[in-house]
Amino acid sequence: MKTQVAIIGGGPAGLLLSQLLNRSGISTVVLERKSRDYVLSRIRAGVLEWGTVEMLREAGAGDRMNRDGIVHDGCLFSSSERMVRVDFKESCGRQVMVYGQTEVTRDLYDAQDAIGATVLHDVSDVVLNDLDSDAPYVTYTVDGVAQRLECDYVAGCDGFHGVSRPSIPADVRQEYEKVYPFGWLGVLSNTPPAAEELIYANHPRGFALASMRNATLSRYYIQVDLADKVEDWSDDAFWAELKRRLPPSVAETMVTGPSIEKSIAPLRSFVSEPMRWGRLFLCGDAAHIVPPTGAKGLNLAASDVHYLVAAMKKAYLGGDLSGLETYSADALSRVWQAMRFSWSMTTMLHRFPDQNAFEQRMQDSELAYLETSEARRLVLAENYTGLPF
């Protein structure tokens, strides 16, 4: 089999890339390790930057989002002393869309079906070959049969544990990492959201986040120790701890109910450079990971796709390879800004095990500054809603 761009991974990055390339007349084949149902069972991100919203609309995958997504003008930050609202629209004229990654992935699969794109599931033994030649190819197994896919380029969209990043020689890769000494216990419940907008809570007992998917589906997180297991947390224990950390006015009125999903995610900041080696281009979690505090993971996947689609169109439609040459630097420039923002939000809002009284005061003063400074709110708003591409 032959295609122009072989895409490894059928998550948001791979599917969005496939959709936008095919709509530009560039052929792709997506190789996904898991089944479609498995991919669609994942509960992950919940907030879309407006740039991501516009890309989904451009991809022809925005109709359900336009109908069911919730446009938010701002979000709230709380501590024991205060509740601060950051009005994105007032500060920087931009908004975000609350719409779950699960739905984004579903919409992308539907859009791929509508154009007859090739997405192969339950693929194993993927190996990327001759990436440093002008004739790369991918070998893989599907239905027990070994296959070979000839291509011009390979897009590694296979996430943090994929095969693409390790296909770049270790002596070429420069990796940067910070692992945080806590995790997030997340719960999804068929209950109305605790508030109209997201609440990021900094509490002496630890961080909490009140988010949502729609008017009857809520998503909550609390910071937990790395040693915690999901089975350590009954629903009652989770709700009691969440209420301790949210503002009393919110905790008193919020509706609780059985968890329909409960999981613990570790937090790390990670970047692997370069994002291109020979004919391989990395996109999304394959190249970088952010702590979810800044709601950047999914949006950075879209950001990389934005740059790679532009570069591929320039190459295929204009015979100009300059975009491919600068892809890694272009994508990384925006990745590092999102990395910085996600790190700063995580540092400002979480309780670190070795945190001393001075560091506690620094967090308090950060929130006090956010409350009193329009300039500080603008900085948060422009980063949270997404810096320009």
Under the rule (CB under 6 A), what is the footprint of ligand PHB?
Answer: 45-47, 198, 209, 211, 219, 292-293, 295
Question: Rule CB under 6 A: which of 260-279 touch ligand FAS?
Answer: 265
3-state SS, one letter per residue, for 268-318: EEEEEECCEECCEEECHHHCEECCHHHCCHHHHHHHHHHHHHHHHHHHHHH
Catalytic residue, candidates 140, 193, 292, 316: 292
Residue 291 engages ligand FAS in binding (rule: CB under 6 A): no
Residue 350 bears catalytic tag: no
CB 207 within 8 A of CB 222: yes
Which lies closer to ligand PHB via its Cβ, residue 111 or residue 198? 198
Residue 316 to residues 27, 152, 153, 231, Cα–Cα distance (Å): 11, 10, 11, 51
Does 56 contact ligand FAS by CB under 6 A?
Answer: no
Specify whether 89 is catalytic: no
Interface pick for ligand FAS out of 39, 246, 312, 370 (rule CB under 6 A): 39
Exposure string for 21-33, b = 16+ CB within 10 A, e = fewer: bbeeebbbbbbbb
Nearest CA to 186 among 244, 228, 214, 215? 228
327 noted as active-site residue: no
CA 151 to each of CA 64, 142, 163, 216: distance values in angstroms, whole numbers, following the listed order = 33, 18, 17, 45
In this chain, which of 5, 6, 7, 8 binds ligand FAS, going by CB under 6 A?
8
Choosing from 193, 297, 323, 386, the residue that interacts with ligand FAS (CB under 6 A) is: 297
* CA dihedral over 50, 55, 60, 61, signed as positive or negative: negative
The span of 64-72, 191-199, 290-298, 380-388 binding ligand FAS (CB under 6 A) equals 290-298
By CB under 6 A, the count of residues binding ligand FAS is: 33
Q: Using CB distances below 5 to 8 A depending on partner kind, what does residue 62 bind out of ligand FAS, ligand PHB, none?
A: none
Per-position DSSP letters for 27-85, written without gaps between them: -EEEE-SS-HHHHHH-----EEEHHHHHHHHHTT--HHHHHH-EEESEEEEE-SS-EEE
Q: Which lies closer to ligand FAS via its Cβ, residue 126 or residue 367? A: 126
Is 72 an active-site residue?
yes
CB closer to ligand PHB, 8 vs 381:
381
**Phi, psi dihedrals of residue 160, rounded to the nearest 5°:** -65, -35
Catalytic residue list contains 296 = yes
Under the binding rule (CB under 6 A), the answer on residue 366 touching ligand FAS is: no
In the complex, what is the shortest distance from the CB of residue 85 to ligand PHB, in angstroms, rounded to a whole number? 16
Q: Which residue has the tokens 């930050």?
A: 77
Query: Least distance from C-beta 102 to ligand PHB, angstroms?
Result: 10
Residue 29 in contact with ligand FAS, rule: CB under 6 A: no
The torsion defined by the Cα of 209, 266, 349 and 74, in degrees rounded to 10, comes to -40
Name which of ligand PHB, ligand FAS, none residue 157 binds, using a CB cut-off of 5 to 8 Å depending on partner kind: ligand FAS
**Per-residue string for binding with ligand FAS, 310-339, x by CB under 6 A?**
------------------------------
Cβ-contact 370, 384 below 8 angstroms: no
Cα 72 versus chain centre, distance: 18
Query: Active-site positions?
Result: 72, 200, 292, 296, 384
Positions in the binding site for ligand FAS (CB under 6 A):
8-14, 31-34, 39, 44-46, 101, 123, 126, 157-159, 161-163, 265, 284-285, 292, 295-298, 301
